[in-house]
Amino acid sequence: MPAAQVSAGGARGIPAARGRFASEGVFEPFLHEGRDGADTIAWLRRQDFCNGKVGMFGASYVGATQVLAAAENPPGLEAISPQLTTARHGESWTWRGGATELGFLLLWIIEALAPPDLERRLAALPDDQAKRLSALMKALQRDPEAGFARLPVLEADLAALAPYAAQWFDEDRAVVAAADLEHLEALGKSRPAMLVIAGWNDLFLEGSLELFQTARGRHEDAGQVKDRLIIGPWSHGNPKDWQGAFWHGPKASTAGLSDVQLDFFEAVFSGVAPPGPMVRYFRSGSNSWHDAPDWPVPETVQRCLYLDGDGLSESPPTQDFRREWISDPASPVPTTGGATFLPGLLLGRNSGPMPQGVVEARSDVVTFTSEPLDKALDVTGRVEARLFVTSDAISADWTARLCEVTPDGQSIGIVDGIARRKTPAGGHGPFEVRVTLGHLSHLFAKGGRLRLQVASSNFPRFDRNPQSGIAPEKATAADFIIARQTILGGPATPSTLILPVIYRTVLE
């Protein structure tokens, strides 16, 4: 390849972000990477081995360093290939729907960020604090689940162990994160072509797709677009053919992606369009790859299913109904599959599609199930639930999960999301809550059924809402209150599941 390749690595002896490993300075996540990346690219272009054209590749935080460098639009940066990462590092990285990604953030701290930082800082700390922080680090690594349950979430020792935690565990920041575009505007004006590689079961999926659409939006004419998008079934830390409890077939691994990246860089450096379609994505259910000329897939249409009693129906309900449950923050619904980081980077197989029988047996989880499908259904795109609800809590979480119920009755989670909302002043409701479950591509089999699962917690993926109005990061057990939650349906309150459907010949 006639150009320099840059990777902001994370091990000794490999170029690292400021303040990481052998790199000097203080590590402040995401703060310096854009300017430092631009400086690194400028240095590379002055070297004899570089012809002036630079490409960057890598996954996760290394993907974030590419995105932040691209937002600087430095001369010579021709192409990037960010993998399993996001364009924003508030919403879609730290927070989602107003809730904090507790499981991911705490594991990221104790598995990757804090150990080398603490090692560098120990000598400068008073002996008693150094011993206390070392003991905390060991305790969290030994028993992460106990770490998730610690109250309050943010206390002095955790803030000392990871100074950036005070910015992450912050209800005020979480509430406004969705409206903060961060670097998207700059990326929309940048030059580098992008090959975005995403995973349906990756916790950064929504940000990956947002990044691609921002890059794609730089060109009105699809024929001018050099950007490419690949979406596999992968999760964070597990880019393999096994996801959750299921094998997705031999075509589901990342084998061959390196060749695709090399072809992409070679084409862009040569000034021509990369080979292949603009979008290539994996569809679970059929376990097959598909090409598309754009994203979202142009032939996608919205299909509405109405919540009706305990069912999902094509027809709007003619009678009112309500489904109630009691939400207790002290006994939250356990995270079971989905786009999680649990229980850590080296065990990512716990994310993805997982059986929901234990969860759905709980009294604080309600379900709505369709009739058996008379033919296979291709759902590809973003899923949303619009719920009319009431709550006697000051603040409440509304979680929703789309499941496939097999002919033998097993419920399998496919995609899920959360919305944290304050109850409107002056009453319990009803009010409307929109929950973005997220994107997927799945072929629901003929004879199976669709199911919407709704609850008020998903822990420890997301932090617990104390429901008392106390900020979650400051709450103790004494601040938890039990609340009654209700979903309403009927002519005046049409709670709805909205699906992106492709009507075409499908492999059943």
Residue 459 has pLDDT above 50, yes or no: yes
CA distance 334 to 416: 13
- Residue 362 DSSP label: S
Query: Do residues 38 and 8 touch, judged by C-beta distance below 8 A?
Result: no
Q: What is the mean pLDDT of residues 379-387?
A: 98
Distance of CA 52 to the CA centre of its chain: 35
CA distance 305 to 501: 12
CA distance 440 to 231: 10
Contacts of 369 (CB under 8 A, 6+ apart): 310, 311, 312, 405, 449, 450, 451, 452
CA dist 153 to 78, 140, 477, 507, Å? 42, 13, 11, 47
The per-residue pLDDT for 371 is: 98
Query: What is the identity of the amino acid at 419?
Result: A
CA distance 357 to 347: 22
CA distance 120 to 140: 19
Structure tokens at 485: 């939650």
Residue 141 has pLDDT above 60, yes or no: yes
Confidence of residue 246 (pLDDT cuts 50, 70, 90): very high
The per-residue pLDDT for 123 is: 80
Structure tokens at 440: 């997927």
Confidence of residue 5 (pLDDT cuts 50, 70, 90): very low
The per-residue pLDDT for 198 is: 98
The per-residue pLDDT for 6 is: 46
What residue ranges in 350-495 does DSSP mark as E strands? 366-369, 377-391, 395-405, 411-422, 431-444, 449-455, 483-489
Could you read off the pLDDT of 399-449 as tens digits, one per residue? 999 999 999 999 999 999 999 999 997 678 799 999 999 999 999 999 999
The per-residue pLDDT for 506 is: 54
The per-residue pLDDT for 13 is: 37
Could you read off the pLDDT of 27-46 as tens digits, one per residue? 899 999 999 999 999 999 99
Q: What is the mean pLDDT of residues 311-315?
A: 97
* Rg of the chain, C-alpha, whole Å: 23
Query: Do residues 183 and 87 touch, judged by C-beta distance below 8 A?
Result: yes
Residue 420 sits at φ, ψ, to 5 deg, of -100, 125
pTM for the whole thing? 0.94
The residue whose two tokens read 């705490």 is: 106
Structure tokens at 158: 């955790």
CA dist 181 to 186, 214, 262, 310, 433, Å? 10, 11, 31, 38, 22
Could you read off the pLDDT of 347-365 as tens digits, one per residue? 556 899 999 999 999 999 9
Averaged pLDDT of the chain: 93
The per-residue pLDDT for 429 is: 79
- Residue 7 DSSP label: -
The per-residue pLDDT for 117 is: 83
